[in-house]
């Protein structure tokens, strides 16, 4: 239990967060670590914005692993509504229960109380997140920019009071306030009210050194030379002004692919064969090919 | 770089002072944020000024642009420089009066004025022009006839009205009454007294998907009195609607969507000036549409795409090409809307060859010469 206490939120510092997250495979820089530290101290949600594939979602997973707590994930999408985000009644079961109780001589009020009891409640992620019994879970609200404005407004209530009202049952208040991580790809501007309630962190493309560190951490067996070449290659690709520049996830994919293909260093064939890991559209394919292999190969030669 | 490394005397006062300082510099810092900043500062402690910076940044910012502004403020405030005479409080804030001059206008999103002009706008103030009569006059005024001072006022009004428009559109979607699935929850609730037999059905409304919008703005010479304002209109449109693709065209087509994407208008306009679009050049609507059809046709979905062209229809190319390409577009979209600023003129007749060729493919032909006409677009969105 002592190890738990060590990793519990109470005695975290920024430094211990950095080393802790690294030990669960997440390389974090100090500015993000400070923000996460504040999440654990101020118990405010954090909104993480940035391009796709830079580890926004991973952050929540790593945090849950570090705090040794549950990760509850809500993936947002257009048309996401309260029924699939918060709770829903189990209608079929309710109908059956009504049928079964038909012949009993309970009053209507009793019947109603029964079929609107917890037994018939289907808990969705947001309700689950405030129902934790022993410790605060991590609630990941992924890609909030995809959800409708109406849903955003609903979230406001939850994120400020951590309580949910179910008309048939009353108000459920969180025993353990969850650590909330919201991510957004900035496909649309979020409402001011929501942003105001959150700590904010913008994640940018990592530096060469940081990305090397990430590759080493995530793909422990990879050869140093290959890793350095791949990272340098991806960095060059990012300067090409692509429609969708590759993120860290793509770097890892590419490096992994190279390893699976048995490459020991980067060459023209390797770039061509793994192009699908880096570019996700015909236009970007063409741009990378037009840039010429030599630009990449030149940048990849390891400094001697 | 921050030169102050360890500073024991980060007091509550300095934090509050910094929040005020940042607010004056244009960061939106309310009392609530100030309280958050105080909490953050006490949680982090003052051992490491960089940690404090990161912490305050996460509390006070809410977008990438804010973060950039924050860095400036932080630098200016904490790193007062070696020449600053040290008082009893080492982290003595800089004179806040000075920052008043470079103060950014928080509502200035629609405005491209430089900071120097701000002092005058503060005297006349946004409040002064929102009087009903001024507002009405400005809403009806033709963009090409507006004075420079009116323009700024109009932009402020426009920004607010456009936002309201976006909000109304969202609400309209919600109260639409298409009957779709049976809403089991409400059905059961209604029928408990009948033993749960579903006699009175309750329906769940199906919310129609919001329309996708593809906009093409003519930036050729003949449109120049209008294009700057329309550009700003499109910027706001893209900011508040999902699924908007924006293009500019004169003799050829330029995709602007990524330029407009989540930035301040000021930066977006600056970037725009860098692209080699034929500003104030000739017009080839047909050619531009052909380019659109070649490269971007897959953006169109016949079920829900609205195709919005803002142009005066002065075609220098072949009108039959325009007609052919527009009809190709038309087959692929729900509605073609053409906004022509010249329609605002009293005796304007769409007689130019280009406009005549286009007319039979157009579903909605409306004006775009003043604010009112732009807001009327709401009906078609």
Which has more confidence, B327 or B232?
Answer: B327
pLDDT at B276: 65
Task: Please compute the mean of the pLDDT values over residues A236-247 and round it to a whole number.
Answer: 86
Q: Is B208 on the interface with A (CB under 8 A)?
A: no
Let me know whether B356 and B302 are in one domain.
Answer: yes
pLDDT at A32 > cutoff 60: yes
Q: Å from A197 to nearest chain B CA?
A: 9
Q: Which residues of B touch A108 (CB under 8 A)?
A: 192-193
Q: Which residues of B touch A34 (CB under 8 A)?
A: 44, 51, 54-55, 58
Let me know whether B49 and B184 are in one domain.
Answer: no
DSSP letters, chain A, are -HHHHHHSGGG--HHHHHHHHHHTT----HHHHHHHHHHHHH---EEEEESTTSSHHHHHHHHHHHHT--EEEEE--TT--HHHHTEEE-HHHHHHHHHHGGGS---HHHHHHHHTSGGGEEE-HHHHHT--SSSPPEEEEETGGGS-HHHHHHHHHHHHH-EEEETTTEEEE-SSPPEEEEEE--SSPPPHHHHHHSEEEEE-PPPHHHHHHHHHHHSTT--HHHHHHHHHHHHHHHTT--SS---HHHHHHHHHHHHHTT-SS--HHHHHHTHHHH--SHHHHHHHHHH-HHHHHHHHSPP-
What CA–CA distance (Å, rounded) separates A224 from B104? 49
Q: Is B193 on the interface with A (CB under 8 A)?
A: yes
Range of lowest pLDDT (A64-73, A76-85, A243-252, B274-283): B274-283
pLDDT at A60: 94
Give the count of beta carbons closer than 10 Å to the beta carbon of residue A7: 17
CB contact under 8 A, A30 and B54: yes
Q: Is A196 on the interface with B (CB under 8 A)?
A: yes
Q: How many CB pairs under 8 A join A and B?
A: 106
pLDDT tens track for A87-140:
988 888 888 888 888 778 888 888 888 888 889 999 999 999 999 888 999 999
Range of lowest pLDDT (B115-129, B225-239, B293-307, B315-329): B115-129
pLDDT at B192: 75
pLDDT at A304 > cutoff 50: no
Q: Is B261 on the interface with A (CB under 8 A)?
A: yes
Q: Is the dihedral of CA B322, B324, B325, B327 positive or negative?
A: positive
Tell me which of B103, B118, B134 is where a domain ends.
B103
What's the mean per-residue pLDDT of chain B? 73
Give the count of beta carbons closer than 10 Å to the beta carbon of residue A265: 16
pLDDT at B27: 85
pLDDT at A140: 95
Let me know whether B59 and B91 are in one domain.
Answer: yes
Let me know whether B75 and B192 are in one domain.
Answer: no
Per the DSSP assignment, residues forming a β-bridge with B310 are B217, B339
Banded pLDDT at A202 (limits 50, 70, 90): very high
Tell me which of B170, B205, B240 is where a domain ends.
B205
What CA–CA distance (Å, rounded) separates A257 from B317? 51
Residue B240: which CATH number? 3.40.50.410
Let me know whether B297 and B195 are in one domain.
Answer: no
Domain that holds residue B274: 212-380
Task: Please compute the mean of the pLDDT values over residues B282-290 and round it to a whole number.
Answer: 85
Let me know whether B197 and B220 are in one domain.
Answer: no
CB contact under 8 A, A38 and B43: yes
Q: Is residue B153 domain-resident?
A: no
Q: Is residue B83 domain-resident?
A: yes
Let me know whether B199 and B216 are in one domain.
Answer: no
The complex's ipTM?
A: 0.80
Q: Å from A13 to nearest chain B CA?
A: 8
Task: Please compute the mean of the pLDDT values over residues A67-73 and round it to a whole number.
Answer: 94
Let me know whether B185 and B300 are in one domain.
Answer: no
Q: Which residues of A touch B196 (CB under 8 A)?
A: 94-95, 98-99, 102
Task: Please compute the mean of the pLDDT values over residues A57-84 and round it to a whole number.
Answer: 90
pLDDT tens track for B151-204:
777 777 777 777 677 666 655 555 444 455 667 777 777 777 776 677 777 766
Let me know whether B328 and B232 are in one domain.
Answer: yes
Let me know whether B76 and B222 are in one domain.
Answer: no
Q: Which residues of A touch B183 (CB under 8 A)?
A: none
Answer yes or no: are the C-beta atoms of A264 and A226 closer than 8 Å: yes
Q: Is residue B111 domain-resident?
A: no
CB contact under 8 A, B262 and A89: no
Answer yes or no: are the C-beta atoms of A74 and A126 closer than 8 Å: yes
User: In this prediction, what percent of chain B has a pLDDT beyond 70?
Assistant: 69
pLDDT tens track for B342-369:
887 777 777 778 888 888 888 888 888 8
pLDDT at B167: 65
Let me know whether B371 and B231 are in one domain.
Answer: yes
Total structural domains within chain B: 3
Q: Is A249 on the interface with B (CB under 8 A)?
A: no
* pTM, entire model: 0.67
CA distances from B253 to B139, B230, B240, B276, B314 (A): 30, 17, 24, 11, 16
Q: Is residue B340 domain-resident?
A: yes
B237, B219, B214: which is closest to B275 by C-alpha? Answer: B219
Which has more confidence, B275 or A242?
Answer: A242
pLDDT at A5 > cutoff 70: no
B362, B232, B177, B189: which is closest to B285 by C-alpha? Answer: B362
Probe site for chain B from A36, A39, A42, A169 (most B CB atoms < 10 A): A42
pLDDT at B123 > cutoff 80: no
Q: Is residue B164 domain-resident?
A: no
Probe site for chain A from B45, B53, B54 (most A CB atoms < 10 A): B54
Q: Is residue B114 domain-resident?
A: no
B377, B155, B109: which is closest to B244 by C-alpha? Answer: B377
Let me know whether B94 and B196 are in one domain.
Answer: no
CB contact under 8 A, A38 and B40: yes
């Amino acid at each position: 239990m002592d190890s738990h206490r060590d990793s519990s939120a109470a005695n975290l510092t920024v430094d211990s967060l950095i080393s802790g997250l690294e030990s669960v495979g997440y390389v974090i820089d100090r500015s993000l670590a400070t923000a996460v530290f504040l999440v654990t101290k101020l118990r405010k949600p954090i909104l993480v914005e940035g391009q796709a594939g830079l580890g926004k979602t991973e952050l929540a997973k790593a945090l849950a692993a570090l705090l040794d707590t549950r990760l509850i994930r809500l993936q947002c999408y257009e048309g996401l509504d309260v029924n699939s985000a918060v709770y829903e009644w189990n209608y079929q079961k309710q109908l059956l229960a009504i049928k079964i109780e038909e012949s009993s001589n309970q009053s209507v009020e009793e019947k109603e109380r029964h079929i609107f009891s917890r037994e018939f409640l289907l808990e969705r992620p947001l309700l689950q997140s405030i129902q934790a019994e022993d410790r605060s879970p991590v609630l990941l609200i992924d890609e909030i920019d995809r959800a409708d404005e109406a849903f955003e407004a609903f979230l406001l209530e939850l994120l400020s009071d951590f309580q949910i009202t179910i008309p048939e049952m009353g108000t459920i208040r969180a025993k353990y306030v969850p650590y909330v991580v919201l991510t957004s790809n900035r496909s649309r501007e979020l409402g001011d009210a929501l942003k105001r309630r959150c700590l904010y962190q913008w994640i940018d493309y990592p530096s060469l050194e940081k990305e090397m560190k990430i590759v080493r951490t995530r793909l422990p067996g990879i050869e140093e030379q290959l890793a350095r070449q791949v990272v340098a290659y991806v960095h060059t690709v990012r300067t090409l002004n692509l429609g969708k520049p590759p993120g860290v996830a793509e770097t890892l994919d590419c490096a992994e692919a190279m390893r699976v293909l048995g490459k020991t260093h980067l060459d023209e064939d390797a770039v061509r064969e793994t192009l699908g890991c880096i570019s996700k559209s015909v236009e970007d394919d063409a741009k990378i090919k037009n840039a010429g292999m030599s630009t990449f190969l030149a940048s990849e030669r390891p400094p001697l | 770089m921050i030169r102050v490394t360890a500073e024991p005397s980060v007091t509550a006062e300095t934090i509050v002072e910094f929040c005020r300082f940042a607010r004056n510099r244009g960061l939106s810092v309310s009392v609530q944020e100030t309280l958050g900043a105080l909490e953050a500062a006490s949680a982090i402690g003052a051992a490491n000024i960089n940690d404090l910076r990161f912490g305050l940044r996460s509390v006070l910012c809410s977008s990438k642009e804010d973060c950039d502004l924050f860095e400036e403020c932080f630098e200016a405030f904490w790193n007062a420089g070696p020449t600053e005479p040290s008082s009893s409080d080492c982290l003595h804030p800089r004179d806040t009066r000075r920052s008043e001059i470079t103060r950014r206008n928080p509502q200035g999103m629609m405005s491209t004025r430089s900071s120097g002009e701000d002092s005058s706008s503060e005297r006349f103030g946004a409040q002064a022009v929102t009087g009903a009569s001024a507002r009405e006059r400005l809403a009806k005024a033709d963009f090409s006839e507006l004075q420079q001072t009116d323009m700024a006022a109009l932009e402020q009004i426009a920004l607010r009205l456009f936002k309201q428009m976006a909000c109304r559109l969202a609400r309209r979607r919600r109260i639409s009454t298409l009957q779709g699935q049976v809403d089991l929850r409400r059905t059961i609730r209604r029928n408990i007294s009948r033993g749960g037999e579903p006699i009175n059905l309750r329906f769940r409304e199906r919310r129609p998907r919001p329309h996708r919008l593809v906009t093409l703005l003519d930036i050729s010479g003949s449109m120049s009195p209008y294009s700057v304002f329309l550009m700003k209109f499109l910027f706001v449109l893209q900011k508040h609607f999902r699924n908007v693709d924006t293009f500019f065209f004169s003799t050829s087509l330029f995709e602007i969507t990524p330029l407009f994407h989540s930035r301040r208008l000021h930066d977006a306009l600056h970037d725009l000036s860098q692209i080699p679009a034929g500003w104030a050049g000739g017009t080839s609507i047909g050619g531009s549409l052909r380019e659109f059809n070649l490269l971007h046709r897959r953006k169109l979905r016949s079920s829900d795409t609205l195709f919005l062209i803002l142009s005066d229809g002065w075609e220098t190319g072949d009108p039959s090409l325009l007609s052919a390409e527009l009809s190709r577009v038309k087959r692929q979209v729900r509605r073609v809307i053409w906004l022509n600023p010249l329609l605002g003129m009293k005796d304007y007749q769409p007689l130019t060859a280009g406009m005549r060729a286009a007319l039979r493919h157009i579903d909605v032909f409306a004006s775009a010469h003043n604010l009112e006409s732009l807001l009327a677009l709401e009906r078609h969105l």
